[in-house]
């Protein structure tokens, strides 16, 4: 049913328990940079968050004001809807075990309200391996629920290779796709975008966008550094004209690279826990990736600057508490800062 190789499946539990710092490539760019001189007076701000799920929580999270600030400053907030939004669980045993995801509409609404993200500014990708966990009916229910909430979606097959979203004076062309699926190709086909060969995309699909942004669900889970094939795909997207790439699926924070003037955030981790409630601490580190795009005539649509804002999700009863690293104390803060230094190259 799924398309995971056997070696991937066998390594899932060991890497979940102890996320890996091994990887094929480790020479990456800065986690924050300003790319245009002089700085544009007018910019559009994009905020990228990672996977959103209710698997590890039963109540809306508590979000520190220091994290609400960068999200509140964004014209668009882009995340990955890792769980189908359903009123009735269909895959009951798998959902109970945690292998199948499901999320109630009320949880998403309450979570976004607690974090301060307005529906009209939110864009959610449906291109991920869990989107058919509750069957075709669950996928259709998810699309309908988000439409009813006024939340824009990307990564659906019927939207084309590139789906355009207006952000202030700019039009952003999002190409969201998943390399992985937990169901058959027949179930994903025509519903979720699995197209990852940008060199074969018709040129007209990319026209009309001031900035092309890829949002891939790629790589292997619980590994802080991307594999060589992931890096190669990022280069292929850049050659096709993409000016920004922000990925997810690893469930841990991954490096930021700078290829010429193109930022590549390989993985921003989970935003709301998508694994078990008592996940080991490296999997509790996530990131909010802020990107400023020029709205000045001379540099219209070019990335002006970016910054990764790391944070940590802590257990708080039946919910999670999202906190900046600077709010931690003692041994946990030391461990988190040490991991960030190895992954991002600098401490927060």
In a domain, 246, yes or no: yes
In a domain, 224, yes or no: yes
Q: What interhelical angle do 105-115 and 135-149 show, nearest 10?
A: 40
In a domain, 347, yes or no: no
What total of structural domains would you count in the chain? 1
Which pLDDT does position 207 carry in this prediction?
Answer: 82
In a domain, 14, yes or no: no
| Tokens 């994290």 sit on residue | 67
In a domain, 24, yes or no: no
In a domain, 6, yes or no: no
Considering the entire predicted model, what is its pTM?
A: 0.95
Burial pattern 182-218, b for ≥16 Cβ within 10 A else e, equals bbeeebbeebbbbebebeeeeeebbeebbbbbbbbbb
Which pLDDT does position 195 carry in this prediction?
Answer: 78
Taking only the tens place, the pLDDT of each residue in 296-306 is: 999 999 999 99
CATH of the domain at 145: 3.60.21.10
* Residues 6 or more apart whose Cβ sits within 8 Å of residue 283: 16, 19, 222, 251, 252, 269, 270, 275
Which pLDDT does position 1 carry in this prediction?
Answer: 74
In a domain, 10, yes or no: no
Q: What range does the domain containing 271 cover? A: 33-342
Q: Report residues of the chain scoring pLDDT below 70.
A: 24-25, 198-199, 202-204, 277, 346-348
Which pLDDT does position 348 carry in this prediction?
Answer: 47
Distance in angstroms (rounded) separating the CA atoms of residues 346 and 222: 20
In a domain, 1, yes or no: no
């Amino acid at each position: 049913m799924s398309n995971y190789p056997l070696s991937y499946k066998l390594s899932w539990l060991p890497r979940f328990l102890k996320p890996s710092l091994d990887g094929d490539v480790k020479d990456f760019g800065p986690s924050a940079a300003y790319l245009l001189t002089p700085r544009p007076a007018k910019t559009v701000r994009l905020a990228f968050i990672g996977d959103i799920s209710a698997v590890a929580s039963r109540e809306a999270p508590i979000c520190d004001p220091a994290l609400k600030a960068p999200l509140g400053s964004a014209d668009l907030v882009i995340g990955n809807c890792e769980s189908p939004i359903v009123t009735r669980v269909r895959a009951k045993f798998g959902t109970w075990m945690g292998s199948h995801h499901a999320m109630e509409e009320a949880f998403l609404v309450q979570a976004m309200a607690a974090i301060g993200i307005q529906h009209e500014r939110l864009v959610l990708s449906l291109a991920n391996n869990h989107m058919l966990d509750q069957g075709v009916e669950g996928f259709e229910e998810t699309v309908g629920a988000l439409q009813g909430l006024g939340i824009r979606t990307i990564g659906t097959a019927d939207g084309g290779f590139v789906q355009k979203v207006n952000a202030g004076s700019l039009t952003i062309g999002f190409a969201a796709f998943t390399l992985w699926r937990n169901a058959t190709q027949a179930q994903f086909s025509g519903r979720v975008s699995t197209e990852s060969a940008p060199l074969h995309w018709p040129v007209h699909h990319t026209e009309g966008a001031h900035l092309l942004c890829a949002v891939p669900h790629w790589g292997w889970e619980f590994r802080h550094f991307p594999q060589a094939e992931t890096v190669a795909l990022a280069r292929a997207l850049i050659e096709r004209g993409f000016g920004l790439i922000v990925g997810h699926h690893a469930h841990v924070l991954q490096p930021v690279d700078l290829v010429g003037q193109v930022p590549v955030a390989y993985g921003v981790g989970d935003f709301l826990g998508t694994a078990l409630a008592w996940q080991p601490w490296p999997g509790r580190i996530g990131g909010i990736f802020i990107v400023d795009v020029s709205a000045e005539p001379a540099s219209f649509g070019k990335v002006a600057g970016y910054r990764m804002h790391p944070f940590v999700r802590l257990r708080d009863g039946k919910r999670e508490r999202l906190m900046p690293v600077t709010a931690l104390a003692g041994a946990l803060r030391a461990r988190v800062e040490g991991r960030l230094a190895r992954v991002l190259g600098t401490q927060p």
